[in-house]
Amino acid sequence: MEGVSIYTGKATEESIENIEEDIFYDDDFIIVGCDNDESEKISAPSLTYWKDAMRRLRQNKIAIFSLMILFLIFIMTIIGPNISNYGFRDQDLSIAHSLPSSDHYFGTDELGRDIFARIWVGGRVSLLIGFVGTIISLLIGCTYGGICGYFGGKIDTVMMRIVEILVGIPYMIVVILASVVLGKGIVSLIVALCLTSWTGSARLIRGQIIQLKESEYVLAARVLGAKPWRIILKHLIPNTLGIIIVNMTFEIPGFIFSEAFLSFVGLGVQPPNTSWGAMASIGQQQMDFFPHELLFPALAISITMLAFNLLGDGLRDALDPKLRQ
């Protein structure tokens, strides 16, 4: 906050001539409204880009609430199966299709297995596929898109035509082929989903690199003899980190939903392992008489996907440089 300077010179003929000639002296002014000793305390502290982003994220109550929900889900996938007195594979046909009770918090399925324990064990598989698939997709997409955007020309043309071909292949065909070659399971599912999922990240990163590669710090790195790989990895990719983080929060629920859908149609996780999609597939067969067997895995999928999407919206607003204040 700056003070206001007030002219205190006497109205003499000499001072009037000085004013007309724009001649002023320091003694003719005093500063009011600001104490020099307090000037540093009055000024607002400087904020870095990431500190300002965290400040605005904390102000977004919906995003923070979503983050708390996700944290709770992560904790329950770790300790949830131990809270239950039953293992997720334990079968007891005498209590099959039991309703939620104090012994079985979410009831039991058609084989008498505890749904509460199976929900959190299945959550481990769904979240594992979501995070691992997203990380692999981003690594491939960032590298591929960075090369396309930096080199441009014929390299960009050829590589982007390859991307367009991959985008045109239905991922169901890729999943079926991967299941035939690798067999059904978590590994084949991750491989199948990652074969084509990186194309969206590659396009996004390519567009950002094209905008940034003409920046002054990139030209300076070229003049100093930096190699293209170093410029891409040390200068260009880190400056797109905000967009990568936001894209990551949207890709994770996409992988979770894809896993749930493929497990629902029988192409995903196979028994005795389970996931939210596999549980929903079994529960929909009993939906008319025992809806709780479908309700809880469906709620787990819906709440997790909604929380990730709301958190992604909050991060997108927080990391947008145009909204800095």
Q: Chain centroid to CA 96: how far?
A: 39
Q: What is the pLDDT of residues 223-244, one digit of tens each?
A: 888 888 888 888 888 888 888 8
Q: Which residue has the higher pLDDT, 325 or 107?
A: 107
Q: Chain centroid to CA 101: how far?
A: 36
Token pair 């059904």 is found at: 184
Mean pLDDT of the chain: 81
According to DSSP, the residues that pair with 7 across neighbouring strands are 29
Q: What is the pLDDT of residues 232-275, one digit of tens each?
A: 888 888 888 888 888 888 888 888 888 888 888 777 777 778 88
User: What dotted CATH number matches 49-323?
Assistant: 1.10.3720.10
The residue-averaged pLDDT of 68-93 equals 87
Most confident range, picked from 69-78, 95-104, 236-245: 69-78
> Kindly report the CA angle at 244 between 62 and 74, in degrees rounded to 5?
50
Residue 15 has pLDDT above 60, yes or no: no
Torsion sign over Cα 14, 20, 21, 24? positive
Q: Which residue has the higher pLDDT, 63 or 52?
A: 63
Tell me which residue of 34, 37, 46 sits closest to 1, measured CA to CA: 34
Q: What is the largest CA-CA distance in the chain?
A: 111
Task: Look up residue 108 and give its DSSP letter.
Answer: B
Question: What is the pLDDT at residue 6?
Answer: 47
Q: Would you list the domain boundaries of the chain?
A: 4-42, 49-323
Torsion sign over Cα 232, 238, 242, 245? positive
% of the chain residues with pLDDT over 70: 83
Question: What is the pLDDT at residue 119?
Answer: 92
When pLDDT is cut at 50, 70 and 90, the band that residue 68 belongs to is very high
Question: What is the pLDDT at residue 65?
Answer: 94
Please give the Cα distance from 256 to 274 (Å, whole number). 13
Question: What is the pLDDT at residue 75?
Answer: 93
When pLDDT is cut at 50, 70 and 90, the band that residue 5 belongs to is very low
Tell me which residue of 196, 314, 174 sits closest to 254, measured CA to CA: 196
Q: Which residue has the higher pLDDT, 16 or 236?
A: 236
Question: What is the pLDDT at residue 4?
Answer: 46
Alpha-helical regions (H) of the chain:
13-20, 39-42, 49-59, 61-83, 115-151, 153-167, 171-182, 186-212, 216-223, 228-231, 241-264, 276-283, 292-318
When pLDDT is cut at 50, 70 and 90, the band that residue 135 belongs to is very high
The residue-averaged pLDDT of 157-177 equals 85
When pLDDT is cut at 50, 70 and 90, the band that residue 13 belongs to is low
Question: What is the pLDDT at residue 39?
Answer: 55
Tell me which residue of 294, 301, 303, 265 sits closest to 125, measured CA to CA: 301
The residue-averaged pLDDT of 159-178 equals 85
When pLDDT is cut at 50, 70 and 90, the band that residue 186 belongs to is confident
% of the chain residues with pLDDT over 90: 15
